[in-house]
Structure 1
Amino acid sequence: MRRALAATVAGMLLTGMLLSGCGVPTESGPRPLEPSVHVANPDTPTADTSLPPGAAVEKLYLVRGNQLVGVERRVDRPPTLERQLADLLAGPTEREQDGGYGSALAGTDFILGAQLESGTAVVTVGGTTIRNDEVLAYGQVVCTLAARDDVDRVRFVQDGQPLEVPRADGSLTSDPLTSADYVTLMAVR
């Protein structure tokens, strides 16, 4: 009987030592968990209302250092092209900023809108966009929109005419772009 009691006590002590060393702090009761980033737009109609809240993923490309980084946000429904572009232009959330993310689009208002034409997102640009980080700004737009299932490529227009924009290598093109044009700027995860 003593041996059984000693083995039980030794087992309890060993379990206690293992649990206390696992790095998980003990708490006196349950605590609420902080939810994922949540973006909701009740004004935007959706084709699929069967999704539970936060069930869709919105992928945006933000800037960290001098690289483009894909960030996923949980949203109520798959965003429209316009909603996703508006979220990109709004910049990183406070939490994303705390994580070191920024935007080359901050403080700009050169994007007037976008529409989808047979798999090509046509982005209308107004005014001038002369900035040191212009390549990152265009890369953010192209990579964000190209991450959508319904977008194969992105084209920029100004005053109804094709606009030449920089690729990652510094060359200018008015041809439709894909994420591959900015792959050298993308952070490797």
Structure 2
Amino acid sequence: MPAMTRRALIVALTALLLTGCGVPVDDAPRRVSGRPGPHNSPVAGDADSMAGRANESLCFVRDDRLGTVVRRVDYLPDVDTHLRHLLAGPGNTERDAGYTSALTGTASVAGARLSGGVAEVEVGGAGDETGRSDQILAFGQIVCTLTSRADVHGVTFRRDGQPLDVPRADGSLSRLPLTAIDYAPLIGRR
């Protein structure tokens, strides 16, 4: 292809690309709303999340099984606050529906932070040596609650900054990141 024709072709293609791709231009900025459904849930720190409503899933115990309740909140809180909501226990309506918490009297939870998609939960005091039969349910509540979030892919537990072995549904201990699958046999059916 001659240099002149190639140059003309490049200029024509450049002009075509610069004229746009058919997206209309507005006179003023406009708010873009996401599509409805679970893929549009706000995450902590989202500036626009205050304007919408979000689902906060919390895992409690009913009939010796793990069960999830969903609370409507203005925005999904950060991981530590979400955990604090779980630790506060079921509300009146949830208690009336038969939900309780195995967290009272088991591991003392100091807080949580998110690191690379893994929620690291710091526990103090009682932990792996309590001997309580509901200890598996307690750890399951935390894991199932935090992994219900789109930004959490697993949960680990630490005591004094050191990894802590915690029980899974089958009674085996693990210090690897846990997910709801590790507690699947304990999750109640609706």
Q: Normalising by structure 1, what TM-score?
A: 0.72
Unpaired segments ≥5 residues, structure 1? 1-44
Q: Which amino acid aligns with 1:178?
A: T
Q: Which amino acid aligns with 2:148?
A: A
Query: How many angstroms does 1:92 deviate by?
Result: 0.1
Q: Deviations over 1:37-92 (max 9, x none)?
A: xxxxxxxx842345546x11100000001100011000111121111100000000
Q: Counterpart in 1 of 2:134?
A: 133
Q: Which amino acid aligns with 2:162?
A: Q
Query: How many angstroms does 1:147 deviate by?
Result: 0.5
Do the aligned partners of 1:48 and 1:77 also contact (CA within 8 Å) in 2?
Answer: no
Query: How many angstroms does 1:109 deviate by?
Result: 6.1
Shift in alpha-carbon separation, 1:48–1:158, aligned structure 2, 3 A: same
Q: Counterpart in 1 of 2:10?
A: none
How far apart are the structure 2 equivalents of 1:48 and 1:77? 10
Mapping 1:167-178, distance limit 5 Å: 167-178=168-179
Do the aligned partners of 2:106 and 2:126 also contact (CA within 8 Å) in 1?
Answer: no
Do the aligned partners of 1:56 and 1:78 also contact (CA within 8 Å) in 2?
Answer: yes
Measured on the aligned residues, the alpha-carbon RMSD in Å equals 1.6
Runs of 4+ in 1 over 2 A off after TM superposition: 45-53, 106-109
3-state SS of paired residue (2:47): coil
3-state SS of paired residue (1:124): strand
Q: Which amino acid aligns with 1:62?
A: F
How far apart are the structure 2 equivalents of 1:187 and 1:87? 21
Aligned mate of 1:74, from 67, 72, 75: 72
Q: Does 1:89 align with 2:90?
A: no
Identity %: 50
Give the count of matched residue pairs: 144
Q: Counterpart in 1 of 2:54?
A: 56
Q: Normalising by structure 2, what TM-score?
A: 0.72
Query: How many angstroms does 1:116 deviate by?
Result: 0.6
Q: Counterpart in 2 of 1:149?
A: 150
How far apart are the structure 1 equivalents of 2:186 and 2:107? 23
Mapping 1:17-28, distance limit 5 Å: none
Q: Which amino acid aligns with 2:91?
A: T
Do the aligned partners of 1:143 and 1:178 also contact (CA within 8 Å) in 2?
Answer: yes
Q: Deviations over 1:2-21 (max 9, x none)?
A: xxxxxxxxxxxxxxxxxxxx
